[in-house]
Chains A and B, each alone.
Chain A
């Protein structure tokens, strides 16, 4: 088997994959944002129009998808802070890997708080 290049500080490592994930979550959030501005704009049309569209957010399927949305937002948010620290903090580049694990821990804690709440709202009476 041909040996793989040892790689660099960046390629194929956490730094690259978090960059990929930052882009994917960013694009997903962008398209949700377009939809969300349009659905909210219905409050200017009538209470009925707005309520009927918002009702779809309360369905089980969208309620579950919303967990994915919140997960994407929280990753993008805290990884974004990691990027800012890499740029501005003197030791940012040195600790970029460790900062990813901090991002992950914050993400897990917040998701552990959000998921049960969302599930009980969606599936509860």
Chain B
């Protein structure tokens, strides 16, 4: 089978070029923000608590998400990291797949996974209810649970 190599200087459609440029800028902008968000995330979850990772449980998450700060923080990290990761995977798929149908299918799968997990994660953060834990008053004594 003949391998067709695209001419590097072949003009893209204006729309295509715009999209790639925005994706390129997004990778850099989100990358810088993610460096801070993720190093903060690792510090607060793995280093600062007395027993590090062993301190993480439902109560730990409930304690964090009692504050809107951590809800926004984790939501922002979710969106930026998943879009950044998905776009990186798209770049790799575009580089290494030779068959057009395979390239398209993998890219569609990547964005479907990303959209699903962003929706799931956002719902989890925004509808989180610490009252589903029967022991919630041991660590959130002020909390009023209905029913």
| A residues apposed to B, CB below 8 Å | 23, 26-27, 29-30, 33-34, 37-38, 40-41, 43-44, 46-47, 50-51, 54, 57-58, 63, 66, 70, 73, 77-78, 80-81, 83-84, 87-88, 114, 117-118, 121-122, 124
| B residues apposed to A, CB below 8 Å | 28, 31-32, 34-35, 38-39, 42, 46-47, 51-54, 56-59, 61-62, 78, 81-82, 85-86, 88-89, 92, 113, 117, 120-121, 123-124, 127-129, 132-135
Task: Give the number of residue pairs across the A-B interface with Cβ within 8 Å.
Answer: 105
B42's contact among A43, A44, A73, by CB below 8 Å, is which?
Answer: A73
B-side contacts of A50, CB under 8 Å: 57-58, 61
Bound state CA distance, A114 and B42, in angstroms?
A: 10
B53's contact among A34, A51, A58, by CB below 8 Å, is which?
Answer: A58
Q: Are A80 and B127 in contact (CB under 8 A)?
A: no
Q: Are B133 and A57 in contact (CB under 8 A)?
A: no
The 11 sampled A-B contact pairs (Cβ below 8 Å) are A23-B88, A26-B85, A27-B88, A34-B117, A47-B133, A50-B61, A58-B56, A81-B32, A114-B47, A118-B53, A121-B54
